Each structure stands twice: as C-alpha cells, then as structure tokens.
Amino acid sequence: DTGPGGAGAAAENAALAEPEGPDKCLSLLPWDRFSAWLHCVCVVGFDLELGQAVEVIYPPHSKLTDKEKTNICYLSFPDSNSGCIGDTQFCFRFRRSPGRKVSFCCFLDQLDRDLPVYLKKDSAYYYGYVYFRQVRDKSLKRGYFQKSLVLISKLPYVHLFRTMLKQIAPEYFEKSEAFLEAVCSDVDRWPPPVPGKVLQLPIMGVIMKLRIPTYRDKPGTTPIVQNMHQADAQISMALPTVHEVDLFRCFCPVFFHIQMLWELVLLGEPLVVMAPSPSESSETVLALVSCISPLKYCSDFRPYFTIHDSEFKEYTTRTQAPPSVILGVTNPFFAKTLQHWPHIIRIGDIKLPGEVPKQVKVKKLKNLKTLDSKPGVYTSYKPYLNKDEEIVKQLQKGVQQKRPTEAQSVILRRYFLELTESFIIPLERYVASLMPLQKCISPWKSPPQLRHFSQDDFMKTLEKAGPQLTSGLKGDWIGLYRHFLKSPNFDGWFRSRQKEMTQKLEALHLEALCNENLVFWSQKHSEVETVDLVLKLKNKLLQADREHLPVKSETLKKLQTHINDIILALPDDLQDILLKTGTT
C-alpha cells in the first residue's frame, strides 16, 4: 500500500481494478498513479518572521527547486489589497525550473497524443490550483488565520481540480496533516488520465465521474457523463467538463468587446487583465485563452501574476516592446508598471447582470491612470472585422429572459468556435494542398518533402475559398490573416500541421514498402545491397515506434515478416549478425 491504511479503502471499487495493456506500468510503483495527475500538494501559511512560507509538501519526496517554492509561496496568496475574507479559489501558472528529469513519461506522452491540441500539457510550466482561507482568529498574533491548500499539476484541468479542492480543502483546514495523506493516498488509486474514457475518481468518500476530451471529438460537443446511481453508499458527482470555465460570467464585464478580444487573443497581442481579486483575474485569463479553441494559444499566459514573480522584470521592462503574453493582475502597482501595454482589460467584481449590460465604449489608454479607473477595455486597437450585432442581441435577450448562465456560456462558446473555424478552415485547406500526391511516393526513394508555404499563394485562395463560405461577417479578413501569419499562434499551429503531414508521408512510404515484393528484389541484388536494405527497414520500424507514426499494426507486422524472410534467404553467418542488429 502506498499510504495510510483506511484512507481510500472505501474507494476500492470495480472501476479501479488493475489496468491491463499499456496501463499496466501504472501499477508498478507507489506514487506513479498520483504523479499521472499531480506533481505534489502544498500547504502555504503565513509566518510573522518569514512571511508566506511552504509549510508542507506532500508526498514528502516531491521535488521543487527553491525558485519554484518561492513562486508558489507568493502566487498562493491574494495581494493584501484584494481583501479576500472567507474562502477564495483561483489558479496560477509558473515556469518549471529547467534541467529536471521527468520520470514515468513514456506512458503519459502516449496519453498526451490523444488530447485535443489545446489540452496537451506544456512541460515547461506547472499549474497551481489554490483554495485560500482567511478568517478572523483572535488567538493569532495577526488576528487572522491565513492558509492556502495548493495542488501543483502539469494538467490544465481547471474545473476538475477546482471541484476536488472544494471537496477536500474545508475539511483539511479542520483536520490537518493526516487528512492530507489520506487525500494523496486516494489520488494514488486513481486510474490514469486516459482521454475519451469515463473515469471514476474517488476522493474522500465521493466519486467524481468525468471524461477527458480526445482530439477525435467534434469541436464544441461534450459527451455527457451520466450521474449513474451507485449501488454502494458512495456519493457520485458527474463533472460536465474537466477544463472549461464559465465563459459568460467571465466575459460579462466586457460584454460588448468579445469580438475585439477574440482578435487580440488570436493575434497573440500583449494583454493585461486588471481585476479586484485572483479568482476574477484567473478566470478571465483562462476564458480569453479558451476563446480561440480549437486553436491552441501558443504564447505564455499567467492567470494570476504578482510583483514577486520570477518573470516580473522580464515582462514589465520598458526597454523593449511588451511580450506576447496575457497577464492577470490585482496589485494597483501594475496600473503604473504596465501603463505602456497596448491593451488593458479592467474588470470590476464579476457579477452576473440582473439587467441588460450597458454599452461600454472602448477607452483610450491615456485615460487609464489608476486601478480605480472604470471597468472597460483600454486600447487604441482597431478591429479588422465588423462587429457582429447578432451575438450581442442574443445574449442580451438571454439576460432579459433570465436564461441560465450555463446556457449563455454554451451560446458564447459556439459563437467563438464558429468564428475560429471560419478563420482557420481556409488555412487548413491551403496547407493540405502542400502535401505531395500519393503517386509521388516511391518505395525506393526517400519520402517527398512538403511544398513550401507561400503567403501570396495562400492569399490568392481567399477570393474563392475564404471565410465568406462559412461566416457572414464582413471586414478586412485579408488584413487579419496577414497579421495572424506573423503571430506565435500561427507559428505553433503550422509547426504541428507540418509534423503531422511529415509523419503521414513517412507512414505512406512504409505502406508503399510493404506492398513491394522485397524478397524478390533482394534475390536480384548483391548481398551488400540486401544487407543495406534490411538495416534501412529495421530503422524504419524503429522510427515508426519512436515517432508513433500513424501506421496500422498489420503494416508493421507485414514489414517485420518481409525482413525475416529476406534474412532467412541469406547465408548463415549474415543471418546471425542481422538477427541481432537493430532489435534493441
């Protein structure tokens, strides 16, 4: 057993039977299952001498560098001016210290490949999911009890970890360390985070049921996880999503500018969100990053950023243009420090409007003097596309009819999805045309190269096959594309497309080789040429495995049979050498 007895005994149910197949390796070592979901759990408290300090790290063997601990310390507490009394939940994201070995990653990489691109983990960053409690306590010198329970993970599953913290944090503050051990012991019994499967995750007597999306899911659809009746006494909770935030609630304060904000995020423009508390700043930043889904936002983003952050100097310097990042801040000091940033979103307390939101004008940056400035978007950016009045009317009508916020979020998410797809389809179509024809693939030559991406050629395709085929929005689409092609989001998107297509060419080349009579070929050629062919084929098989090429397993088996047949037709001494070569 990996943790204290009884901790998750009730959680041993059929859903957690020993995994078969590739999951097998997960049952090998203690804490491997835990590591598939979390890096560690931290408790951050306030010490009168030291200030914020990490009091507990669990499991105790978890490694964090001093720099990482310092970042976690400062990011786990709201700024003192936020005045968060009671319980507050938010999340942050910080850079991992370089040069650390990642154990147990082969299996997790396999899972990562099945995720939609915007959910793939970025190994350079950790997320911190925080449950902060601040309550009056006369027995303490400061007069307040202040503590944060923080989950550190590489996974961007905001809703899952938020739900989990809601479940465990209040009880932890009453019960302390032994309870934390029991929680971690439960997590170490979870099945691996396999995309596309309905997973049952027991946590302190409750089972959370959820499904992680896969890249095969149709964008904008969420298969519903049914809340099945449990035969035993355990309570089960179905999570509608693992990663989504409440879009409508987040965008409410800047309701009339959603389309302009979509453009700014798409183009990777430097954006800062100034909010009254970390929960509002982090939710808004996550909403912005998700509004261009299914495209991946490829620049850095910080749902909550403080003046103590290790990247503070790098991101606030005036010696160069602001970087392509989205920052969420709450400290009034930033109103001065980031004055030179081109786009600032100022939000007040996020409350859902009881009445129709008022039209808020885009404000000029020079009007943003302090954080007391009125909520709104401060920028001199001129959107490329004309405003879509339809979506504004639809959401306003929803407010009047008291439509539930979940329903409003669904409408908004669909609107962003359709806008992004209209924008990206012409690019997808053009990039697909860069793929060489199948008849150009010869088994006896290296796979052909992709044709070069030409901005001019792409622009010419827009006249007949542009976004007008799927979107009624008028405006300067060409200008928007030109700007996008210079952005980090285009660079990231194009690289991943290039990689996919190159792998597809390698896979087609493998298939072409399989369909040849290789034994017949070897009989017509010298031993030297035949040995060379065998070594090349073995390399191909190793590459297919290493790069996870999209090849059917039958094709690989067939190629292995070809190799064996060729070897068996050779003299014995060569057979011995070749059977040993390249099999490791």
Q: Give me the CATH number covering residue 309.
A: 3.40.50
Residue with token string 């300090």: 53
Q: Is residue 498 part of a domain?
A: no
Residue 77 shares a structural domain with residue 156: yes
Phi, psi (5° rounding) for residue 20?
A: -105, 175
Residue 39 is predicted with a pLDDT of 94
Which of 12-26, 428-442, 500-514 is the least confident region?
12-26
Residue 253 shares a structural domain with residue 402: yes
Residue 253 shares a structural domain with residue 141: no
pLDDT, tens digit (0-9, with 9 covering 90-100), for 106-147:
566 778 888 998 998 888 999 999 999 988 887 777 777 889
Residue 51 shares a structural domain with residue 152: yes
Please state the domain count of the chain: 4
Across the range 535-561, mean pLDDT stands at 86
Residue 220 is predicted with a pLDDT of 72
Q: Which residues contact 154 (CB under 8 A, 6 or more apart)?
A: 39, 121, 122, 123, 125, 126, 127
Q: Residue 81: pLDDT above 50?
A: yes
Residue 403 shares a structural domain with residue 451: no
The domain in which residue 39 lies consists of: 32-191
Q: Is residue 544 part of a domain?
A: yes
Q: Is residue 393 part of a domain?
A: yes
**Residue 418, CA distances (Å) to 70, 182, 410, 490, 541 in order:** 42, 45, 12, 18, 40
Q: Residue 148: pLDDT above 80?
A: yes
Residue 401 shares a structural domain with residue 451: no
Q: Residue 408: pLDDT above 60?
A: yes
Q: Is residue 25 part of a domain?
A: no
Query: Residue 433: pLDDT band by 50, 70, 90 thresholds?
Result: very high
SS3 for 302-318 is ECCCCCCCCCHHHHHCC
Q: Is residue 335 part of a domain?
A: yes
Q: Residue 424: pLDDT above 60?
A: yes
Residue 50 shares a structural domain with residue 153: yes
Q: Is residue 72 part of a domain?
A: yes
Residue ending a domain, choose from 408, 432, 463: 408
Q: Is residue 570 part of a domain?
A: yes
Q: Residue 18: pLDDT above 90?
A: no
Residue 336 shares a structural domain with residue 287: yes
Residue 548 shares a structural domain with residue 441: no
Residue 350 shares a structural domain with residue 457: no
Q: Is residue 24 part of a domain?
A: no
Residue 65 is predicted with a pLDDT of 93
Across the range 390-417, mean pLDDT stands at 91
Residue with token string 């996919």: 500
**For the whole model, what pTM was predicted?**
0.87
Across the range 556-579, mean pLDDT stands at 82
Which residues lie across from 198 on neighbouring strands?
211
Residue with token string 């920028």: 379
What CATH number does the domain containing 170 carry?
3.30.450.200
Taking the CB of residue 458, how many other CB atoms lie within 10 A of it?
A: 18
Phi, psi (5° rounding) for residue 346?
A: -110, 120
The mean pLDDT value of the chain amounts to 84
Residue 430 shares a structural domain with residue 393: no
Cis peptide before 294 (omega within 30 of 0): yes
* Cα angle, residue 495 at apex, residues 489 and 496 outer, rounded to 5°: 95
Q: Tokens for 572?
A: 């014995």
Across the range 256-275, mean pLDDT stands at 95
> 132: closest CA among 72, 210, 207, 205?
72
Residue ending a domain, choose from 408, 441, 463: 408
Residue 67 shares a structural domain with residue 142: yes
